[in-house]
Amino acid sequence: MKNLNLNYSAIKTIGLSILISVFFTSCDGQVKKNTALLKIAPEQLKVHEDNIVLRAETLPEFLSNPNEQDYQGNQISGVVRTVFQDKNGNLWFGTQNGLCRYNSQGLDYFDITDKDGKSITVYVIVEDKSGAIWIGYGGGIAKYDGAYFTNYYEKDILIKSGLWSMVADKNGLLWIGTTQGVYTFNGEVFTHFEIPEGKADPTRGVSTSRMVHSIMEDSTGRMWFGTNGGAYIYDGTVLTNISEKDGLRSNFVNSIIEDRDGNFYISTAHSGLFFYNGDTLTNITDAILGADTGIETLLEDQKGTIWFGSKGRGLYSYDGKDFTTYQIEESTTGPATFQIYEDQQERLWFVGFGGAYRYENGNFVNITRNGPW
């Protein structure tokens, strides 16, 4: 692999909104950078959950298709962007209609709003090592401590850039992917993390040259970033790029996961799914999908099976040798799946346009406000 090495200097807090970068080229041609970065403190707004909670049964029906008038099962939301189960067993859903949580008390919605008081779309939900739940949405992030939601707003990082991905690493540091790059957040200040610029994808409704579609921490503590310039790996000192020059065939990377054997799967927006063993890249979907099919979300389940959704709304699993194709009976085209998720009961969830589904006993079950939970 040809590596792009960026050596990061120690970051110091400074008092001005300035990013200072000094580039130089070493004798071996590697690009190195010494950087002093501003740490930006966001605005905060704290509210108790009792002041914003809404019981599901008090809300109007959410339709899977707003153009149809007939009863559609009272969906959790017409569009579910993400699902997450915390260590206490609570199920959280990020939707086009905001945030909701299911537990033994039932289904609750939380009326979280952005800086302008408008309803939000939740893109990602994670839990840090302290048990705090972090909600990433268009225009901000919120932290739930079990009683209070603390909303964090920053006009340039979150509101103008737009949050797209987020992960809490093993140390509790939050990594945030936006349309304008990566930032870290320690609960007090945002710090910019520089990643080289790629290209905007003209086939997508939202795309920029600095787009960060996904972030993942591997078993060794390295951070992986899916960008429009390929995949990037940060080991704490060096930033390494995997892209078309290495055989990726498309620099538009959607998702990255690590399997139980320490290998990686990299999904691309236009050229299928790649297997990466740390040395070589192999496209594994050409035979079943063709060379130009985009792959979206990825998951390895507890049995070691890889699940993924294609841009054409197909759902597939891969056991290392064979592929299986799945179809949700309620739809002739299958779901447009934003996320595939496995909960603590080893149940598989598929969420996206049309609501939430769970795969049980060989069938896809539509999970509505009324369950089955």
The average pLDDT across 269-274 equals 95
At 131, the pLDDT band (50, 70, 90 cuts) reads: very high
Confidence (pLDDT) at 35: 47
The average pLDDT across 36-63 equals 86
* d(C-alpha 66, C-alpha 162), whole Å: 26
* d(C-alpha 120, C-alpha 112), whole Å: 7
Confidence (pLDDT) at 322: 94
Confidence (pLDDT) at 28: 35
Would you kindly state where each structural domain of the chain is located, as residue ranges?
38-298
Asked if residue 197 has pLDDT above 90, the reply is yes
Let me know: does 201 contact 213? Beta carbons within 8 Å: no
Please report, rounded to a whole number, the percentage of residues in the chain having pLDDT higher than 90.
71
Question: In sequence order, what are the beta bridge partners of 215?
Answer: 225
| Alpha-carbon distance values, 28 to 5, 25, 62, 141, 367 (Å) | 11, 8, 59, 41, 56
Instruction: For residue 175, give the nearest of 215, 131, 133 by alpha carbon.
Output: 215
At 15, the pLDDT band (50, 70, 90 cuts) reads: very low
Please report, rounded to a whole number, the percentage of residues in the chain having pLDDT higher than 70.
84
Confidence (pLDDT) at 10: 32
Tokens of 287: 């035979």
Q: What is the pLDDT of residues 302-315, one digit of tens each?
A: 999 999 998 766 89
Asked if residue 18 has pLDDT above 80, the reply is no
At 332, the pLDDT band (50, 70, 90 cuts) reads: very low
At 60, the pLDDT band (50, 70, 90 cuts) reads: confident
At 156, the pLDDT band (50, 70, 90 cuts) reads: confident
Lowest mean pLDDT among 254-268, 306-320, 322-336: 322-336
Confidence (pLDDT) at 143: 98
Domain made up of 38-298: CATH architecture: 7 Propeller (2.130)
Asked if residue 228 has pLDDT above 90, the reply is yes
Encode 113-150: b = buried (16+ Cβ within 10 Å), e = exposed: bbeeeeebbbbbbbbbeeebbbbbbbbbbbbbeeeebe
* d(C-alpha 365, C-alpha 350), whole Å: 10
Starting at the edge strand found earlier in the chain, the sheet holding 53-55 runs 53-55, 106-110, 98-103, 91-95, 80-85
Average pLDDT, the chain: 87
